[in-house]
Amino acid sequence: GGGSELYRAIVRGMGAAAADAAVALLKDHSAMEIINGHIIPALGRVGEEFEKKRIFLPQLLMSAGAATAAFGQVRATMKDGCGTKGRIILATVRGDIHDIGKNIVKLLLENYGYEVIDLGRDVSCETILKSTQDHNVRLVGLSALMTTTLPAMEQTIKVLRQNLPDCRIMVGGAVLTGEYAKSIGADYFAPDAAGAVRIAEEVFGQP
Ligand code: B12
């Protein structure tokens, strides 16, 4: 983990090097090992440095780009599931453009055989509601990474509840806790992508 070439390439914001390092790791590591052991810790480090004002937005952007480049290599090796176990909507809420975590959740859900309709990032509650209705979706996953976008998440849950009382809602993202998720009316919270899969298995009744 900590000192790997991939980790350092992401921290330094070197996209091509990060992609190469990911390809090298794929020879003897699984996709989730690389994501959980290298990509996520590196982004955590970058976040800390940003918070302490030791790096600034341009470097944060470069690191995010490097993480996305590495993720692209990892994703290419995972085969798409056939999407028969259930249909799930994923979105990052209005005002929030962080989507690396959501994309990891999507990758794993698809790999476990779920069909994911990815609405992207900065998505309004109207769009999420309409898409959930149009596609007759039973499980919606919302992501938010900032304290400032938690109200948008709460609003989205409210709108979904009012219009689609049978729809289940799971939430995630670095700023969330299980307790907070409950307080804004979510049915489920998970701290990572594997947790999202467990929630899906519960909602869709698979072991
Ligand atoms: C990368 C990054 C960016 C990139 C985003 C690129 C992209 N395409 O996503 C860029 C550079 C664009 C960016 C911009 C900004 N960022 Co930023 N960013 C980060 C950083 C470093 C990492 C986030 C990340 O990708 N983590 C890795 C992923 C894998 O983790 P994750 O998202 O939490 O996802 C996992 C779980 O939470 C869970 N999960 C996630 N979603 C869901 C959903 C469901 C349904 C479930 C079940 C689970 C689940 O599973 C995932 C996999 O394990 C964080 C620091 C941090 N420690 O989080 C700051 C951070 C989130 N950013 C922050 C800020 C302030 C900003 C900016 C406002 C900066 C600015 N001044 O402009 C802008 C915001 C723009 C906007 N309107 O959204 C702050 C937020 C502070 C706060 N508490 O509100 C943080 C915490 C940094 C800090 N410490 O100050 N950022």
pLDDT in tens, 128-157: 999 999 999 999 999 999 999 999 999 999
Q: What is the distance in A from the centroid of ligand 1 to the CA of 145?
A: 5
Domain 5-77, CATH: 1.10.1240.10
Q: What is the distance in A from the centroid of ligand 1 to the CA of 146?
A: 7
CA distances from 102 to 16, 27, 191, 207 (A): 23, 25, 12, 23
Q: What is the distance in A from the centroid of ligand 1 to the CA of 207?
A: 32
CATH code 1.10.1240.10 region(s) in the chain: 5-77
Q: What is the distance in A from the centroid of ligand 1 to the CA of 98?
A: 5
pLDDT band at 84 (very low <50, low <70, confident <90, very high): confident
Task: Assess whether the C-beta atom of 96 lies below 6 angstroms from ligand 1.
Answer: yes
What does the pLDDT read at residue 206? 59
For residue 66, pLDDT beyond 70: yes
Architecture of domain 87-203: 3-Layer(aba) Sandwich (3.40)
For residue 1, pLDDT beyond 80: no
Residue nearest to atom 33 of ligand 1 (CA): 174
Residue nearest to atom 90 of ligand 1 (CA): 51
The answer to whether the CB of 142 falls within 8 A of the CB of 157 is yes
CATH code 3.40.50.280 region(s) in the chain: 87-203
Residues 6+ apart with CB under 8 A from 37: 1, 29
Q: What is the distance in A from the centroid of ligand 1 to the CA of 64?
A: 9
Task: Assess whether the C-beta atom of 61 lies below 6 angstroms from ligand 1.
Answer: yes
For residue 23, pLDDT beyond 90: yes
Ligand 1 binding pocket mutation candidate from 114, 145, 180, 197 (most atoms within 8 A of CB)? 145
Task: Assess whether the C-beta atom of 203 lies below 6 angstroms from ligand 1.
Answer: no
pLDDT band at 3 (very low <50, low <70, confident <90, very high): confident
> Which has the minimum average pLDDT: 27-41, 70-84, 120-134, 144-158?
70-84
Residues 11 and 18: their CA atoms lie apart, in Å, by: 10
For residue 165, pLDDT beyond 50: yes
The answer to whether the CB of 100 falls within 8 A of the CB of 67 is yes
What does the pLDDT read at residue 80? 66
Q: What is the distance in A from the centroid of ligand 1 to the CA of 202?
A: 27
pLDDT band at 78 (very low <50, low <70, confident <90, very high): confident
For residue 100, pLDDT beyond 80: yes
